């Protein structure tokens, strides 16, 4: 084999050095372009035009746009943005290019409908997107579930939610919860159990990490809200019995009203505050909770969703 000459060695060293510098330069570029305040514009917003331009490779282009939608939402969510203007058109293009990419409809239902900063605050666009998904994929029960989910959580429109769940329950291999949900929607009773059932179904029926993390955070929040409601009831009963408020949870234990020290879903003990209220130790770790926060607490913009 030919020995390495001086020029070859220099070329190898230069090649490696240039590669390392190019990686740093590229990372710098990513940073600059992410921080840029240049208005984002979708120059081609028509799925039909893009389908035509894709020359038949619409599946690949759909994957590219799906990645862009997830990256767009993730980056803005991380920055705590309240503006997700491009999420709807990105998802429309994705599903326009590949109408069978059901994860895109699910993503839309979960993150297009909720109010900012947890989503784009566009429930009507989310409903339209999921309806289009149902039209193109009538045998995917998750889409009916997602539709009912939006009507229930965002619009409180129980008849339409019941209709969506009932239609979904007739789809082959539909989750058995759908039938129960349809019935409960008709009565619109048992809010907490209903919400828990819906988030559990959301968690179990997807493999998308973001959707699972979001569902888990909601399930934890529901648990906290239920725990605090129950604990405050016990404190009230204790007060009626003894004529004074307990100073700690151990007094409730001594009175035989609690078997263990109450802890939140993350394993942190609840705090008993003067006045008989109950608070979580760190509300920032439990987004979406409605109870257990200090008076005047303003939840921060979500930097991330707790991973599952």
Partner 1 sequence: MSSRIAHIAANTFREAVRDRVLYNLIAFALLMSGAAILVGQISIGIERLVVVNLGLTAVSLFGVVIAIFIGIGLVSKEIEKRTLYTVLSRPVRRWEFIVGKFFGLAGTLVVNTFFMAIGVFAALLYVSHGFEKADGWILVAVYFIILQFLMMTAIALLFSSFSSPLLAAVFAFSLFVIGSFAEDLRGFAAMAQGVSRWAATGAAYLVPNFSSLNVISSVAHQQGATPQLIFANSLYALVYTAMALSGAVLVFERRNLK
In the complex with partner 1, the residue whose CB is nearer, 41 or 298, is: 41
Segment near partner 1 (CB under 8 A); pick from 67-75, 147-155, 160-168, 261-269: 67-75
Nearest distance, CB of residue 150 and partner 1, angstroms: 25
- Closest by Cα among 65, 160, 167, 149 to 112: 149
In the complex with partner 1, the residue whose CB is nearer, 35 or 247, is: 35
Footprint (CB under 8 A) of partner 1, residues 19-58: 19, 21-23, 25-26, 28-30, 32-33, 36, 38-39, 41, 43
> From the centroid of its chain, how far is CA 191?
20
CA dihedral 291, 303, 211, 159 (to 10 degrees): 50
The residues facing 271 across adjacent strands are 279
In the complex with partner 1, the residue whose CB is nearer, 7 or 259, is: 7
Nearest distance, CB of residue 32 and partner 1, angstroms: 5
Place of tokens 């179904």: 201
d(CA 71, CA 246): 49
Residue pair 113/152 in contact (Cβ under 8 Å)? The answer is: no
- Give yes or no for residue 3 binding partner 1 (CB under 8 A): no
Nearest distance, CB of residue 238 and partner 1, angstroms: 50
Residue pair 286/220 in contact (Cβ under 8 Å)? The answer is: yes
d(CA 110, CA 147): 10
- Give yes or no for residue 275 binding partner 1 (CB under 8 A): no
SS3 call for 73? helix
- Give yes or no for residue 307 binding partner 1 (CB under 8 A): no
d(CA 260, CA 237): 18
Segment near partner 1 (CB under 8 A); pick from 60-68, 132-140, 181-189, 213-221: 60-68
- Give yes or no for residue 241 binding partner 1 (CB under 8 A): no
- Give yes or no for residue 192 binding partner 1 (CB under 8 A): no
Rounded CA Rg of the chain:
26
Residues that bind partner 1 (CB under 8 A): 2, 5, 7-8, 11-12, 14-15, 18-19, 21-23, 25-26, 28-30, 32-33, 36, 38-39, 41, 43, 64, 67-68, 70-71
């Amino acid at each position: 084999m030919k020995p390495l000459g001086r020029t070859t060695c220099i070329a190898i060293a230069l090649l490696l050095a240039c590669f390392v510098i190019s990686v740093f330069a590229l990372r710098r570029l990513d940073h600059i372009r992410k921080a840029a305040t240049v208005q984002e514009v979708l120059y081609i917003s028509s799925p039909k035009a893009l389908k035509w331009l894709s020359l038949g490779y619409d599946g690949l282009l759909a994957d590219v746009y799906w990645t862009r939608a997830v990256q767009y939402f993730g980056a803005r969510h991380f920055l705590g943005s309240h503006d997700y203007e491009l999420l709807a058109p990105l998802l429309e293009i994705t599903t326009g290019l590949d109408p069978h990419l059901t994860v895109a409809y699910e993503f839309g239902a979960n993150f297009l409908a909720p109010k900012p900063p947890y989503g784009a605050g566009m429930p009507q666009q989310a409903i339209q997107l999921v309806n289009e998904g149902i039209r193109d994929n009538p045998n995917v029960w998750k889409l009916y579930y997602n539709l009912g989910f939006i009507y229930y959580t965002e619009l409180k429109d129980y008849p339409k939610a019941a209709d969506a769940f009932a239609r979904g329950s007739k789809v082959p291999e539909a989750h058995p919860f759908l039938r129960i949900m349809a019935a409960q929607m008709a009565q619109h009773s048992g809010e907490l159990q209903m919400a828990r059932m819906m988030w559990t179904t959301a968690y179990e029926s997807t493999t998308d990490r973001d959707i699972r993390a979001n569902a888990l955070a909601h399930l934890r929040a529901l648990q906290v809200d239920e725990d605090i409601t129950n604990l405050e009831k016990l404190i009230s009963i204790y007060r009626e019995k003894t004529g004074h408020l307990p100073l700690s949870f151990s007094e409730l234990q001594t009175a035989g009203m609690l078997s263990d020290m109450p802890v939140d879903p993350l394993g942190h003990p609840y705090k008993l505050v003067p006045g008989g209220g109950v608070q979580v130790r760190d509300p920032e770790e439990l987004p979406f909770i409605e109870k257990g926060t200090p008076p005047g607490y303003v939840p921060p913009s979500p930097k991330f969703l707790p991973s599952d």
